[in-house]
Amino acid sequence: MLKKISTLEAVFVVLMSACGIALKPIVGPMAKLIGSAFFIPAGAIAGAVYMMWPMLALLVVRRFGTASLVGFIEGIIVLITGFYGSHGVLSLLTYIVPCLFIDITYWLIRKNKKRIFLFFPPAIGNLVGSVSVGLLIMHIPTIPLLFSLIPAFIFGGIGGLFASGLYQLLIESFPQFSPDKYTS
């Protein structure tokens, strides 16, 4: 992340942060509605959308720390504005740590060109996010927390596949986002 990033990449990172924040008031209640019907924690379901934005930013910029930067920007905005999903200072942790795990997992699997592997970084990120919110904020007992991790992993991974699909549409429409520009 210490290399220079272009203005376009910086704008894209901020845009992905804004999308993540802007959709929270819409996605959160819908996830609660669906989750209560199926006895699945709402945060695990909402992770499909929440984890999609940092993953999409990472696919476009392709630098370690990009997803973490998206989480940091989201956390700062939520902290300053008291926006939907604010947990005070813990917001910084609950937004940055899952995105850091997206970065780490992506960096471990980045050599594999199969699209299905893009399932794993946001899946791990959503799993870590569910654990951090469950332990730090909601104080959920161990057994229910463990049961919430399976849907968190699955829905986070679905967000990764959504991000992959959006990325494909993006590079078809705007070739300047193509990964070919990074190989020289």
pLDDT along the chain (184 residues), means of 10: 77 94 91 89 90 95 94 92 76 93 95 89 96 89 90 96 94 79 38
Number of domains the chain contains? 1
User: Is 1 part of a structural domain of the chain?
Assistant: no
Q: So what's the pLDDT on residue 5?
A: 80
* Residue 144: inside a domain: yes
| Range of the structural domain that residue 111 is part of | 7-175
For residue 84, what pLDDT is reported?
66
Q: What is the CATH number of the domain that holds 111?
A: 1.10.1760
- The answer to the question of residue 95 being in a domain is yes
Whether 182 is in a domain gets the answer no
The predicted pLDDT at position 85 comes to: 62
Asked whether residue 68 is domain-assigned, the answer is yes
pTM of the model: 0.90
d(CA 1, CA 99): 14
Decide if 57 is inside a domain.
Answer: yes
Tokens 């730090």: give the residue.
Answer: 136
Whether the CB-CB separation of 149 and 131 falls below 8 Å is answered with yes
Residue/partner pairs of 180-183 with CB below 8 Å, 24 or more apart: 182/62
Q: How many residues does the chain have?
A: 184
Task: Please check whether residue 64 lies inside any domain of the structure.
Answer: yes
pLDDT computed for residue 86 by the predictor: 67
* 23 belongs to a structural domain: yes
pLDDT at 153: 96
Calpha distance 51→124 (Å, rounded): 10
* Residue 128: closest CA among 183, 50, 63: 50
Q: Which residue has the tokens 């945060």?
A: 43
Q: How far apart are CA 176 and CA 169, in angstroms?
A: 12
